[in-house]
Amino acid sequence: MPEEERRLSAILITDIVGYTLLGQTNEDLSLKLLEEHDALLRPLFSSHGGRVVKAMGDGFLVEFPSALQATRCAIAIQEALHARNASQPPERRIRIRIGVHVGDVVHRQGDLFGDGVNVASRIAPLAEPEGVCISAQVYDHVWNKVHFPLVSMGRQALKNVRVPTEVYAVAFPWSQVRPEEPRPVDRTRIAVLPLANTSPDPADAFFADGMTEELIFTLSRIRGLRVIAQTSVMKYKGTKKSIAEIAQELRVATVLEGSVRKVDHQLRINLQLIDAQTEEHLWSEAYDRKLEDVLAVQTEIARKVAEMLEVKLVAGEERRLQPAGARDVDIYMLYLKGRHFWNQRSESGLKRAIEIFQDVIAADPHYALAYAGLADSYSVLASQGHLPVHEALPLAKEAAQKALELDEDLAEANTSLALIEWLFEHDTERAATRFKKAIEQNPNYATARHWYANLLSDLGRTSEALAEMKRALALDPLSPIINMALSAILWESGQFSEALDQHRRAQALAADFVEGHLSLASVLQTAGKWAEAEAELNKALDLDPNSSAVRRAFADHLTFLGRFDEALETMNKVLVMEPDSPIANHTYGRCLVFARQYEEAIVQLQRTLDLDPEWVQPRVTLGIVYTLLGRHEQALEAFRKAEARVAKTDRVQTEIQASRVVTYAGMGETTTAEENLRALERRDSGLGHAFTVASAHFALGHVDEGLAWLEKSFQARDPGLRLLKVHPWFDSARSDPRFQGYLVKMGFPEEAPPVAAG
């Protein structure tokens, strides 16, 4: 068993109020009360799944598997103590404070250390006597699952905690903390629940889903409304939950629900607009229409909802409420099916989406939304490495521009083109302007906010990115993709334990979401939780055994651990599946580099560039190999070509600069290398920067400076830490016990990997 283990845990800390003073004035009574305190609390810890790590004088440090168990235990303790104290004289009352936090902790020789413990210990003193305080991370898990109100105490600057933490107090009936007065209800925040299918043919359920999605789409074009996205509301299809429960989970004030009955070419649509707090019907209506009028009736409904919620349509909205796209309802249903597959974000799902969007366009060449969907499918395929950029980019851009030509006010079309301008054309300023235009056109389009937040994060504008991503999540709170994206920005902002917690929450929303398992595995690897990461990869493989993306992720995992033979064997199988995939060939090439098979790696990386000449990363990797082989001029040429293909703000510039530093040092140009290294230190490009600087120092033999930067990298949980065991630039430090200590912290075996000749 390793001496040290990291994991995410809920931490509860208790402290008896006034115990030190009591011990000084009446030691016998203080000891008796402490015994009674212990006897009352320990069974409650156990019954709620808690493990007492240690008693700390007059308090406890307790670990729980979940935030909810810890919070419920804290509440149960205070309820029990309050009941006991009611019958006791003042001097015999036991009054305690409790703090609860969920975060990253380190298990070492039976004790607990780390941020999770530190934050909990700082929160506990903020509680009033007989009170409980919890962190925002705990609140996110329990806000709708405990029977007392939770009141925000605002963001607190906690000692030795870098980022101010929002703290909440449990509002017990006996406490001074009181729930806030109910805020004025924002009735314009609305959810359209999945319409029930009451047609004789069960197959018409898809039609009812399509009606739901079209209603959401139409309502979202009214700027005065805040409409929850379909990916979140469709999770309530067939639910037994009440309107009040659903509204609380989605944080909406108004709900539109109803049913659709389709018989041949006749429709009957029943709708009710409901006040979520009172469950009072604000409006109800039945519509009898012909099937071909289904899209027009959406506009009628949208106008009525806006009227009932006292939202006035502004200039231009009447036109936008007209049916956008296909006039044939069957074609519209086909478009929705394409978006369904696109939302899966898997290679097979994206390729199926392309086929469907092409079918839609063949049936109606003037359908703007289908072109936007086609553009998004090609863009995501290329961003995931399933298509070479030089093949995907012209197809994506042509489709996005066609969508805008057909409807210049279509937010989806501007969002599609903004993604292309950002990811592939590296024009971040133009992309940002276009994303903002799309958000202005449709403030309810969560994808526009999601991608704009990612762009802001890429530019290092982390606080803005976090705010924008939270807006996206407010519109689509149950979207696994957006929840995962929020995790990434939390990580970027230095909140790694919160990011890991958020990632687990994202994966819990869709256990069958393959991309979620892969993404969670990468976070767990960075946390040094290799067994848990491998378990996530196995889950992904079980869900999609034919996925080359899953197998590539497995090969990377094996490479990080130094299991090169297994990694290369895995990649050989992947290349049989997709021999012309640039990303598969690059993954194989990287594995060869870390296995110290440099000449073979060059062949593989050159093949990658033959398949996709515009891809930057293989050129950087190729330059690193040339440096390792002493072929310095070829290395510098590779870096020059890579640098010419990326924006100055792109983070890969940091890796290029670090690689060039090592190359200059290898050429004997020490002064130039040192100057570039100091410039690299000053270039703070966010997450990953510290690890890159550390690697350059180690490559130059600066072990002490490298260790200092490695500590910064470890504190930030840079994703590059996964390469610590295998990257050649760290070879000079592998025998240093201090470096070995970082391998242990990252969960790696202590021995260094064998270094084979190139």
What DSSP assignment string belongs to 609-656? HHH-TT-SHHHHHHHHHHHHTT-HHHHHHHHHHHHTTS-TT-THHHHH
Give the domain-ending residue among 264, 280, 314: 314
Q: What is the pLDDT of residues 514-558, one digit of tens each?
A: 888 998 899 999 989 899 999 999 999 998 888 888 999 999 999
DSSP category for residue 147: S
Is residue 310 located within the same domain as residue 336?
Answer: no
Tokens of 385: 């490495």
Residues in contact with 243: Cβ distance below 8 Å, sequence separation at least 6, in sequence order: 255, 257, 274, 276, 279
- Decide if 300 is inside a domain: yes
Residue 262 has pLDDT above 90, yes or no: no
Eight-state DSSP code of residue 10: E
Q: Is there a domain that residue 217 lies in?
A: yes
pLDDT for 313: 63
Structure tokens, 579? 């021999």
Burial 194-222 (b: 16+ CB within 10 A, else e): bbbbebeeeebbebbbbbbbbbbbbbbbb
Per-residue pLDDT band at 44 (split at 50, 70, 90) = very high
Classify residue 237: in a domain, yes or no. Answer: yes
Residue-wise pLDDT for 455-487, tens only, equals 998 888 888 998 999 999 989 988 888 999 999
Q: Which of 187-201, 329-343, 515-529, 595-609 has the lowest mean pLDDT?
A: 329-343
Q: Averaged over 719-747, what is the pLDDT? A: 92
pLDDT digit string (tens) for 649-684?
A: 667 888 999 999 999 999 999 999 999 999 999 887
Give the rounded distance of the alpha carbon of 285 from its chain centre.
40
Q: Can you tell me the mean pLDDT for 351-376? A: 94
Q: Is residue 559 in a domain?
A: no
- Reported as a pLDDT band with limits 50, 70 and 90, residue 315 is low
CB 454 within 8 Å of CB 485:
yes
C-alpha span between 365 and 359 (Å, rounded): 10
The residue segments making up the domain with residue 105 are: 4-170
- pLDDT level of residue 199 (50, 70, 90 thresholds): confident
Whole-angstrom distance, CA of residue 696 vs CA of residue 710: 11
Could you report the per-residue pLDDT of 406-420, keeping only the tens digit for each? 999 899 999 999 999
Same domain, 163 and 98: yes
Q: Work out the average pLDDT over 73-94.
A: 91
Whether 400 and 501 share a structural domain: yes
pTM for this predicted structure: 0.70
Residue 186 vs residue 410, higher pLDDT: 410
Top pLDDT among 63 and 3 is at 63
**Residue scoring higher pLDDT (343 or 376):** 376
Among residues 506, 523, 540, the one where a domain terminates is: 523
Residues β-bridged to residue 377: none
What mean pLDDT comes out for the span 26-36?
A: 88
pLDDT value at 510 more than 70: yes
On whether both 205 and 296 belong to a single domain, the answer is: yes
CA distance 134 to 125: 11
Same domain, 341 and 478: yes
pLDDT at residue 752 is higher than 50? no
Strand partners, 98: 14, 132
Q: What sign does the CA torsion over 735, 737, 739, 741 have?
A: positive
| CA–CA dist 204, 201 (Å, integer) | 6
pLDDT at 593 over 60: yes
What is the total count of domains within the chain?
3
Q: What is the pLDDT of residues 269-289, one digit of tens each?
A: 999 999 988 888 899 999 898
Q: Which of 386-390, 488-492, 523-527 has the lowest mean pLDDT?
A: 386-390
Lowest-confidence pick of 10-14, 226-230, 295-299, 598-602: 295-299
Residue 6 near residue 528 (C-beta atoms within 8 A): yes
Calculate mean pLDDT across residues 200-225. 81
Q: Nearest-CA neighbor of 99 among 80, 71, 72?
A: 71
Q: Is there a single domain that holds both residue 151 and residue 208?
A: no
CATH of the domain at 474: 1.25.40.10
Write out pLDDT tens, residues 606-637.
999 999 888 889 999 999 999 999 999 999 99
pLDDT of residue 754: 43
Q: Which domain CATH number covers 164?
A: 3.30.70.1230
Convert the pLDDT of each residue in 224-253 to its tens digit. 889 998 888 988 888 888 888 888 888 899
Same domain, 361 and 295: no
Q: Are residues 267 and 230 in the same domain?
A: yes
Same domain membership, residue 497 and residue 393: yes
**Domain contains 574:** no
646 — pLDDT class (breaks 50, 70, 90): confident
Asked whether residue 126 is domain-assigned, the answer is yes
The CA distance from 554 to 597, in Å, is 20
The pLDDT assigned to 184 comes to 46
pLDDT at 708: 94
Verify that 216 and 91 share a domain, yes or no.
no
CA distance 593 to 687: 24
Question: Secondary structure of 35-89 in the HEC alphabet?
Answer: HHHHHHHHHHHHHCCCEEEEEECCEEEEEECCHHHHHHHHHHHHHHHHHHHCCCC
Distance CA 525, CA 534 (A): 9
Residue 331 pLDDT: 81
Does residue 595 lie in a domain region?
no
Residues 28 and 164 in one domain: yes
Average pLDDT, integer, range 421-432: 90
d(CA 611, CA 374): 23
With a cut of 70, say whether residue 115 has pLDDT above it. yes
Determine the average pLDDT of the residues in 123-133: 92
Q: What is the pLDDT of residue 753?
A: 46
Distance CA 755, CA 594 (A): 9
Please give the torsion angle defined by the CA atoms of residues 361, 366, 372 and 377, in that order, rounded to the nearest 10 degrees.
Answer: 10
- The alpha-carbon radius of gyration of the chain (Å, integer) is 29
Q: How far apart are CA 271 and CA 416, in angstroms?
A: 33
pLDDT at 1 over 50: no
Judge if 357 and 309 occupy the same domain.
Answer: no
Decide if 63 is inside a domain.
yes
Q: What angle do helix axes 530-543 and 514-526 make, rounded to 10 degrees?
A: 170
Final residue of a structural domain among 499, 523, 547: 523
* The predicted structure's pLDDT at residue 329: 66
The mean-pLDDT minimum among 515-519, 564-568, 646-650, 699-703 falls in 646-650
Per-residue confidence at 755, pLDDT binned at 50, 70, 90? very low
